[in-house]
C-alpha cells in the first residue's frame, strides 16, 4: 500500500479531527513512520487533486465519501448547472447553490437526495478556470471580454494590461475572482483579429489550454540530449544494426517511433521484430522534460501543425528512428507460428539502424504484387512476408470477434502558408492495416508479459458497453427496419460484430457505424488490466508511441527498469510505481480527451472555412443525425450542417427519440435518407454550417431571407 493510500485510510476514520492541521500532520507522520514534510506534500497534492476535502478546519474527508464527491461544473444559460462526476449520471445544481462556480471549474459537491435523484451544492472550487479566451468589445469607453465559451453568459470587465489590444480582437485573459463572485480579467496574450481563420484556430488551441512552445529550460534540456548515439550508450544493448529494419508511415509524418523487421522460419512461422524508440533513455522520470510531457500527456494533431508532447530535438531528432542512423530502441521480438500465435517472445534494450523510411503508398503496390519505388523494392522480400503475416493476424482478429468500425478520417490538403485548401475522406489500404496488426500484437504481448509478472503498469482499457447504452442502439436499429437479435445478458464483441454486419448491408453503413460506436464505452488508461473489448483481447497496453503518448513513455521506463534489474523488482519500488501508474493513467486519459476535442474543433473550423465561399451552392447529402431542433446532413467531403426544424417543408413535426425521426402528417425525415440541400450560412466563430432543403416551400424561403438580414 502506498503512502497516499495509507493516509487516505487513516483520514477516513471519524476520530481524525484536529484543531490545528499540524496536529494531523504529526499524527500521520508518527503513525506511518514517514517524514512530516512527505506527509504535508502528499496532503497538499490530494487537496489540489480533489482526492480529499477539508470539511472544516482540521477535519478532512476522502472523496468520494460521506456525501461529498468531486466533479466538473457545467453551466447552463438558465442559471442552474450540472456536474459531471464520472459515473455517467450528472448531478443537478440549483441556481442558488453554484457558489460562484463557472463552466469548467473542478469542484467539490455536497450531495442531497430528492425525488428526482441526486442534487447537490458546490462547497469548494478545487481547480478554478484561470484563463478564458474571447473577443474584446468596447462599451462606453470600457473594454470587456465576450467569452468564446457560450456557457459563460456574461461579459468580463478588463483591467489594465501591459499589452495593447483593441475591440474585435481575440485575446487570452487571466481570470481574476473576487469574494463576492465578481470577475475581472487581465489580457495576457493577443491572438489576432476575430474574423481571421488562423486567429480562430489559435483561439481553439488556447481554449483547450494548449501551447506551441515549451519553456526555454525544457528546450535547452532537449537540445543537450540531441547528440549521436555514443559507444557508452550502446553498452549492454542488443546490437540489431545489421538486420533489416525500416519504418512505414504517412507521407507527412515528421517523427518515426516504430520500426519493423521480419524473418520467415523453416516451420512456416515468422520472427517479427517491433522496435520502438527508447524515449525513456532520454526523458528521465522527474526531469524537466518528463514534467512537460506529463502535463501535455499527448501530442495534438491539427490539419497544418502538430503540438508535440516532447520538443522537436527529441521527437524529430534523437528519438526519431530516422533512416541510416543508429538509434536506441526497445525491441519486442516475437516468434509466431503459422497460425499467427506468439509462441515465444523476448524484450530487449537494443540499438537499430533503419534501412528505409517508407510510406504507406510505397508499400501498398508491393503488397499487390506490383513494382514500387527503388527504396520499397529494396525490401520487397521482407514486405511480402509481412503481408502474409498481416493477413493471418487479420483473420485471427475477425475470428476472435474484434470490432472493425468503418469510420474514415478526414484528410486535409495544405498549402505552403499552412492554410487548408481542401479536404476529403482519408483512404486506408493494406499497408496501414499491416502496421496496425503488428503494433496491436506487440502491445498485447507486452501487456500480457508484465501483467503475468505482477509489475505495476499502465493498460489501455476498453470495457464492455452497458445494457442501457446498448439498448439505445438496439432501439434505433430496430426502428430503422433492421432485424436485430436481442441483447444478451453478457454482451460480447461477437454480438457487436453482428450489429455491424447488419448495419453494413445498408448503403449508409458509415452513419450506422457511428451510432453503434456511440453505444460503446470510451477507451481509457488505467493501472488495472481490464482487457480491451473492441479488440477482443484480455491484455492490451500502448507501448508503440512513446514520442507522442505519455502512457507509452511510462511503461517504457518500467520495462527498462525491470530488464536492468534482471526481471526482479522490490516490493517498495512496486508500491511507488503503483501510485505513479495510477497518476499517469488518470492524467493521460484526461489530456487525451482534451486533445481529441481540440482536434475535432479545429477540423470543424477548417471545414466551415472552406464551405464559406460555397454559400448559395447545392449539394447531395445524407441525413446523419436527427434532433428535436432539426436535421443534420453530411456531404461526401465529410462536412456536416444543420437544417433547422422551422426550415423543413410543412409544419408541426414531432421528434421520435428512439428511432431518431422527425415526422408530420405528410413527411418523415430519418437517418440515412438522401437529401438535396442548399448552403445558406456559415458561422466560423461557432464552426456551424446551415443548409436548406432544396424543395423548401415559401415559408422556408421567407425564414432564410429573415436570417440573412
Question: How far is the C-alpha of 534 from the C-alpha of 492, rounded, in Å?
Answer: 10
Domain assignment of residue 310, yes or no: yes
Phi (first) and psi of residue 75, to 5 degrees: -75, 165
pLDDT at 511: 87
CATH of the domain at 108: 2.40.50.140
pLDDT at 244: 97
Are residue 453 and residue 472 in the same domain, yes or no?
A: no
CATH of the domain at 180: 2.40.50.640
Q: Which of 402, 651, 665, 419 is nearest to 538 (CA)?
A: 402
Question: How far is the C-alpha of 350 from the C-alpha of 236, rounded, in Å?
Answer: 8
Question: How far is the C-alpha of 48 from the C-alpha of 53, rounded, in Å?
Answer: 9
Of 143, 159, 194, the one marking the end of a domain is 194
Are residue 353 and residue 440 in the same domain, yes or no?
A: yes
Domain assignment of residue 658, yes or no: yes
Domain assignment of residue 113, yes or no: yes
Domain assignment of residue 204, yes or no: no
Are residue 72 and residue 57 in the same domain, yes or no?
A: no
Domain assignment of residue 575, yes or no: yes
Are residue 509 and residue 580 in the same domain, yes or no?
A: no
Are residue 542 and residue 452 in the same domain, yes or no?
A: yes
Beta bridge partners of 172: 133, 189
Are residue 176 and residue 223 in the same domain, yes or no?
A: no
Are residue 305 and residue 381 in the same domain, yes or no?
A: yes
Are residue 665 and residue 542 in the same domain, yes or no?
A: no
Q: Which of 604, 589, 602, 582 is nearest to 298 (CA)?
A: 589
Contact between residue 679 and residue 647 where contact means Cβ atoms under 8 Å apart: no
**Parallel, antiparallel or unpaired: strands 238-239 and 245-249:** unpaired
Are residue 354 and residue 402 in the same domain, yes or no?
A: yes
Domain assignment of residue 199, yes or no: no
Are residue 296 and residue 346 in the same domain, yes or no?
A: yes
Are residue 79 and residue 148 in the same domain, yes or no?
A: no
Domain assignment of residue 211, yes or no: no
Q: Which of 511, 519, 505 is nearest to 474 (CA)?
A: 519
pLDDT at 700: 47
Contact between residue 487 and residue 470 where contact means Cβ atoms under 8 Å apart: yes
pLDDT at 518: 86
User: Which ranges of 400-536 would DSSP assign to H, the alpha helix?
Assistant: 430-452, 467-479, 493-503, 509-518
Contact between residue 328 and residue 281 where contact means Cβ atoms under 8 Å apart: yes
Backbone conformation region of residue 375, classed left if phi is above 0, alpha if psi is from -120 to 50, else beta: alpha
DSSP 8-state symbol, 121: E
Helix, strand or coil, per DSSP, at residue 646: helix
Query: In the chain, how many domains are there?
Result: 6
Domain assignment of residue 51, yes or no: yes
Helix, strand or coil, per DSSP, at residue 82: strand
Of 47, 62, 77, the one marking the end of a domain is 62
Q: Which domain holds residue 338?
A: 216-458+537-599
Are residue 346 and residue 332 in the same domain, yes or no?
A: yes
DSSP 8-state symbol, 12: T
State which residues of the chain have pLDDT below 50. 15, 696-709
Of 30, 46, 62, the one marking the end of a domain is 62
pLDDT at 697: 46
Amino acid at each position: 500500500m502506498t503512502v497516499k493510500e495509507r493516509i487516505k485510510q487513516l483520514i477516513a476514520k471519524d476520530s481524525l479531527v484536529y484543531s490545528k492541521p499540524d496536529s494531523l500532520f504529526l499524527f500521520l507522520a508518527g503513525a506511518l513512520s514517514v517524514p512530516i514534510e512527505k506527509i504535508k506534500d502528499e496532503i497538499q497534492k490530494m487537496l489540489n487533486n480533489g482526492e480529499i476535502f477539508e470539511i472544516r478546519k482540521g477535519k478532512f474527508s476522502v472523496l468520494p465519501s460521506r456525501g461529498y464527491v468531486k466533479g466538473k461544473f457545467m453551466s447552463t444559460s438558465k442559471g442552474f448547472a450540472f456536474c459531471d462526476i464520472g459515473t455517467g449520471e450528472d448531478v443537478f445544481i440549483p441556481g442558488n447553490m453554484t457558489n460562484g462556480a463557472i463552466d469548467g471549474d473542478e469542484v467539490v459537491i455536497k450531495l442531497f437526495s430528492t425525488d428526482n435523484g441526486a442534487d447537490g451544492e458546490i462547497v469548494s472550487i478545487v481547480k478554478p478556470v484561470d484563463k478564458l479566451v474571447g473577443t474584446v468589445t468596447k462599451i462606453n469607453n470600457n473594454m470587456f471580454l465576450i467569452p468564446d465559451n457560450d456557457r459563460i453568459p456574461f461579459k468580463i470587465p478588463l483591467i489594465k494590461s501591459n499589452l495593447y489590444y483593441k475591440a474585435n480582437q481575440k485575446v487570452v485573459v487571466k481570470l481574476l475572482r473576487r469574494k463576492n463572485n465578481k470577475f475581472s480579467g487581465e489580457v495576457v496574450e493577443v491572438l489576432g483579429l476575430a474574423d481571421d481563420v488562423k486567429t480562430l484556430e489559435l483561439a481553439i488551441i488556447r481554449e483547450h489550454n494548449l501551447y506551441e512552445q515549451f519553456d526555454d529550460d525544457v528546450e535547452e534540456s532537449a537540445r543537450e540530449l540531441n547528440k549521436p548515439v555514443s559507444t557508452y550508450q550502446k553498452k549492454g544493448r542488443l546490437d540489431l544494426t545489421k538486420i533489416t529494419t525500416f519504418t512505414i508511415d504517412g507521407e507527412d509524418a515528421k517523427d518515426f517511433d516504430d520500426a519493423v523487421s521480419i524473418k520467415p522460419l523453416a516451420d512456416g512461422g515468422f520472427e517479427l521484430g517491433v522496435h520502438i524508440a527508447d524515449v525513456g533513455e532520454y526523458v528521465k522520470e522527474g526531469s524537466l522534460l518528463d514534467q512537460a510531457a506529463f502535463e501535455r500527456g499527448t501530442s495534438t494533431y491539427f490539419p497544418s501543425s502538430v503540438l508535440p508532447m516532447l520538443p522537436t530535438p527529441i521527437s524529430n531528432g534523437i528519438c526519431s528512428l530516422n533512416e541510416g542512423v543508429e538509434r536506441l530502441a526497445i525491441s519486442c521480438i516475437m516468434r509466431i507460428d503459422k497460425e499467427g500465435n506468439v509462441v515465444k517472445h523476448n524484450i530487449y534494450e537494443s540499438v537499430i539502424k533503419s534501412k528505409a523510411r517508407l510510406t504507406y503508398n510505397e508499400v501498398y503496390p508491393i503488397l499487390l504484387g506490383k513494382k514500387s519505388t527503388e527504396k520499397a523494392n529494396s525490401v520487397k522480400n521482407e514486405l511480402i512476408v509481412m503481408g502474409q503475416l498481416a493477413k493471418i493476424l487479420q483473420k485471427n482478429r475477425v475470428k476472435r470477434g474484434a470490432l472493425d468500425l468503418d469510420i474514415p478520417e478526414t484528410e486535409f490538403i495544405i498549402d505552403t502558408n499552412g492554410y487548408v485548401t481542401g479536404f476529403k475522406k482519408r483512404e486506408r489500404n493494406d499497408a496501414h492495416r499491416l502496421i496496425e496488426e503488428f503494433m496491436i500484437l506487440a502491445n498485447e504481448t507486452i501487456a500480457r508479459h508484465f501483467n503475468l509478472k505482477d509489475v505495476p503498469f499502465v493498460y489501455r482499457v476498453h470495457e464492455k458497453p452497458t445494457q442501457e447504452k446498448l439498448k439505445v442502439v438496439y432501439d434505433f436499429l430496430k426502428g430503422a427496419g433492421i432485424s436485430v437479435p436481442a441483447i444478451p445478458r453478457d454482451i460480447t464483441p461477437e454480438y457487436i460484430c453482428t450489429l455491424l454486419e447488419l448495419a453494413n448491408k445498408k448503403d449508409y453503413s458509415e452513419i450506422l457505424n457511428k451510432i453503434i460506436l456511440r453505444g460503446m464505452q470510451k477507451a481509457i488508461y488505467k493501472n488495472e488490466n481490464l482487457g480491451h473489448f473492441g479488440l477482443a483481447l484480455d491484455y492490451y497496453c500502448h507501448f508503440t508511441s512513446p514520442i507522442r503518448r505519455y502512457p507509452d513513455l511510462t511503461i517504457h521506463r518500467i520495462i527498462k527498469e525491470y530488464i536492468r534489474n534482471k526481471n526482479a523488482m522490490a516490493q517498495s519500488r512496486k508500491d511507488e510505481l503503483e501510485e505513479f501508474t495510477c497518476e499517469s493513467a488518470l492524467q493521460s486519459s484526461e489530456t487525451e480527451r482534451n486533445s481529441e476535442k481540440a482536434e475535432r474543433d479545429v477540423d470543424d473550423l477548417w471545414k466551415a472555412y472552406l464551405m464559406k465561399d460555397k454559400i448559395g451552392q447545392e449539394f447531395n447529402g445524407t441525413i446523419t443525425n436527427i434532433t428535436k431542433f432539426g436535421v443534420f446532413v453530411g456531404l461526401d467531403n465529410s462536412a456536416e450542417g444543420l437544417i433547422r426544424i422551422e426550415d423543413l417543408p410543412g409544419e408541426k413535426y414531432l421528434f421520435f427519440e428512439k428511432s431518431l425521426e422527425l415526422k408530420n402528417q405528410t413527411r418523415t425525415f430519418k437517418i440515412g435518407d438522401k437529401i438535396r440541400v442548399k448552403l445558406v450560412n456559415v458561422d466560423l466563430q461557432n464552426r456551424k454550417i446551415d443548409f436548406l432543403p432544396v424543395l423548401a416551400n415559401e415559408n422556408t424561403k421567407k425564414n432564410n431571407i429573415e436570417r440573412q438580414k
